[in-house]
């Protein structure tokens, strides 16, 4: 087996294990603390440090990975995630908002160290630097990750019902310990480490395309999380009367389907256009996506059955969102030089974390004040901003193509 492909499989396997715990802990915290009587806004605030420290981690993580190696940053992430899981096993009387926010801060750092390490590493594993193979490998990594995050949602809900809160946390910690040992043994020690010392100021991208793509990513993921993170699971449980397991299973199926579409994105784009994925691809898919949350909000406003609207709307949103996300993930790696890929990916995912932070806070705040309709209108506004950023990228690409 080719060494690059073996490393790719090892990183993907470790990323899978981590992702299951990431999805599960999210579902455990939302459902358990809602059961304890926390309001939607209070639940959203529990994730404030998770998203905030994701921003900080991505800013520093790419630079750190270039200095100490991407395998090291990946393993640091796994160790921090195990610590975050075990922090939540204390008695209920210890689980104050501040304490849980601190545990989620560790989890946020862990998640983004792991994500940055895995996605930047793909660029190093492609043996011939083929754009087609790179798109395929990135799409499979990203799609499978999201499918397993969906599985994590289901596992979190099911473990909460089966082993209760603390038993679920211990089970997830044990699984991640196994993944940590396997990747530690199989990955080379200098993965992604640059020969020259990189200055921290080089983290901030000087490439306008990277900056605009990062801006589009901020609004794309903010658009999803405004209604998905807190508003949707709380709405399904408190308004539609779903059980913990039903909520976890439904969100799991959505994210699994979304991940499956991401994995197929190269084939779908190849069948629907005569060119490789580009900024033009983003404009098309972001434009389509902007119509969906607006249509869902209008349908709810007109009194349509909420369950039907959400299930159908979520299905369409997931398909189109997956195409946007897969193209984003490919372009950030494709547009980055090998010696700058970890820093560019870190900067890009800093914007991603910023969008998630904005979306998470707004999910609790807007839902508490204006309900699910308000969250969907907010989502539509964010997608529109992502579309405008994509149009700017397309115009930049067109001008570069025309220039001699």
Q: What mean pLDDT comes out for the span 346-365?
A: 85
Cβ proximity of 33 and 46 under 8 Å:
yes
Q: What is the pLDDT of residues 206-238, one digit of tens each?
A: 678 888 898 999 999 999 999 888 888 888 888
Per DSSP, 21 falls in state H
Residue 400 has pLDDT above 70, yes or no: no
**Biggest alpha carbon distance in the chain?**
67
Which of 242-254 are b and which e, b meaning 16 or more Cβ less than 10 Å from the residue's Cβ?
Answer: bebbebbbbbbbb
> What are the Cα distances from residue 249, in Å, to 20, 157, 220, 245?
14, 7, 24, 6
- What pLDDT, on the 0 to 100 scale, is given for residue 404? 46
Name the band, by pLDDT with cuts 50, 70 and 90, for residue 44.
Answer: confident
Residue 303 has pLDDT above 60, yes or no: yes
Q: What mean pLDDT comes out for the span 234-259?
A: 82
Cβ proximity of 59 and 352 under 8 Å:
no
Residue 278 has pLDDT above 80, yes or no: no
CA distance 387 to 341: 25
Q: Which of 53, 192, 122 is nearest to 332 (CA)?
A: 122
Query: At CA 236, angle to CA 159 and CA 326, rounded to 5?
Result: 80
E strand or H helix at 181: helix 164-186
Cβ proximity of 355 and 325 under 8 Å:
no
CA distance 28 to 308: 26
CA distance 360 to 51: 8
Cβ proximity of 328 and 220 under 8 Å:
yes
Name the band, by pLDDT with cuts 50, 70 and 90, for residue 275.
Answer: low
Q: List domains and CATH numbers for the chain.
A: 3-193+200-402 (1.20.1250.20)
Q: What is the pLDDT of residues 140-154, one digit of tens each?
A: 777 777 777 777 888
């Amino acid at each position: 087996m080719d060494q690059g492909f073996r490393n790719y499989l090892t990183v993907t396997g470790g990323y899978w294990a981590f992702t299951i715990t990431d999805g599960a802990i999210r579902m455990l915290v939302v459902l358990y603390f809602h059961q304890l009587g926390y309001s939607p806004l209070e639940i959203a605030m529990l994730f404030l440090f998770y998203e905030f420290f994701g921003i900080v981690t991505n800013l520093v993580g790419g630079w750190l990975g270039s200095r100490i190696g991407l395998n090291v940053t990946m393993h640091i992430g796994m160790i921090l995630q195990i610590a975050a899981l075990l922090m939540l096993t204390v008695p209920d009387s210890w689980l104050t908002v501040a304490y849980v926010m601190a545990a989620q801060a560790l989890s946020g750092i862990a998640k983004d160290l792991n994500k940055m390490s895995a996605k930047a590493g793909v660029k190093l594993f492609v043996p011939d630097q083929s754009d087609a193979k790179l798109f395929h490998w990135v799409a499979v990594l990203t799609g499978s990750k999201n499918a397993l995050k969906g599985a994590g949602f289901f596992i979190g809900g099911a473990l909460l019902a089966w082993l209760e809160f603390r038993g679920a946390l211990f089970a997830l910690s044990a699984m991640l310990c196994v993944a940590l040992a396997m990747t530690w043994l199989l990955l080379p020690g200098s993965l992604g480490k640059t020969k020259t010392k990189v200055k921290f100021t080089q983290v901030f991208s000087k490439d306008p395309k990277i900056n605009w793509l990062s801006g589009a990513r901020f609004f794309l993921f903010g658009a999803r999380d405004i209604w998905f993170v807190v508003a949707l699971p709380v709405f399904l449980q408190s308004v539609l009367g779903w059980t913990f397991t039903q909520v976890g299973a439904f969100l799991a199926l959505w994210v699994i389907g979304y991940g499956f579409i991401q994995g197929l994105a190269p084939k779908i784009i190849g069948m629907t256009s005569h060119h490789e994925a580009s900024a033009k691809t983003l404009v098309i898919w972001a434009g389509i996506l902007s119509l969906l949350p607006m249509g869902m909000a209008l349908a709810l406003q007109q009194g349509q059955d909420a369950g039907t609207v959400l299930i159908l709307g979520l299905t369409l949103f997931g398909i189109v969102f997956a195409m946007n996300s897969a193209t984003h993930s490919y372009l950030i790696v494709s547009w980055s030089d090998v010696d700058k890929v970890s820093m560019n990916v870190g900067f890009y995912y800093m914007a991603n974390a910023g969008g998630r932070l904005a979306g998470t806070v707004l999910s609790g705040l807007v839902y508490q004040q204006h309900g699910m309709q308000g969250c969907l209108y907010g989502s539509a506004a964010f997608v529109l901003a992502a579309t405008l950023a994509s149009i700017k990228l397309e115009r930049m690409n067109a001008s570069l193509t025309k220039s001699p």
